[in-house]
Structure 1
């Protein structure tokens, strides 16, 4: 079992309050978040942005492992995840992955098969209770 943790400290009301997020690795340390960073364009982070980063990173690493298992090594995997929060429902409804991949000697058909497997099996994909889409391009 591997355990990772992050801490959020919030002070005040939901709309006027402010918070900080810190991670075990200290990559984020007392990083600001607030109503404005979540629902407007304020300075700081927000939970959805952090989920998007986690999904993009997890997917890219899972894809690298799957490519290696199939006998390929990527020169570069450029993955972007866009998380969609529906404020009316109060839930994340979608994660859309955009992928540009440079993988020598890999056919488009095999690439699509491996990328789809990584999309379905990466731990963050399995965690999300949302639609997960992918637009994958082999360049």
Structure 2
């Protein structure tokens, strides 16, 4: 079993508060977040952006392993994840994560690539964690 950690610190409250996020690996160290970075586009990060990064990374790695199991040794995968945050009563809900894959895998036909991509979408641990609708758009380069 693997456990990863991250910490969040928030000073102040609500819209005027300011926060910092750090990860165990140190890739994020006191990265700024807060209302302004989440809702107003100011520099810094936000939970939805981090979830999108996690989903894109998890799905892409799962697909790369599926391709390797299928004997496909070369290729390039690029995935964009778009996580949608919507008003839900007085709060908010992450309602969906849409994956857009651009793949260049010379030794595979499009039908097999699409099947493996759907399998990777369903089996990646971040997909399993999210309680949201998901879509997958595959573009073969």
Judge same fold: TM > 0.5, yes or no. yes
Quote the Cα distance in structure 2 between the aligned partners of 1:105 and 1:42. Answer: 43
Alignment RMSD, CA only? Answer: 0.9
1:1-139 alignment, distance < 5 Å: 1-89=1-89, 90-139=92-141
Aligned residues: 139
1:82-133 Cα shifts (integer Å, max 9, x gaps) = 0000123511000000100010120111111000000000000000000010
Q: Identify unmatched segments of 5+ residues in structure 1.
A: none
SS in 1 for 2:81: strand
Quote the Cα distance in structure 1 between the aligned partners of 2:66 and 2:126. Answer: 16
Q: TM-score, normalised by structure 2?
A: 0.96
1:33-52 Cα shifts (integer Å, max 9, x gaps) = 01011111111000000000
Runs of 4+ in structure 1 over 4 Å off: none
Quote the Cα distance in structure 2 between the aligned partners of 1:92 and 1:109. Answer: 31
Q: TM-score, normalised by structure 1?
A: 0.97
Q: Identify unmatched segments of 5+ residues in structure 2.
A: none
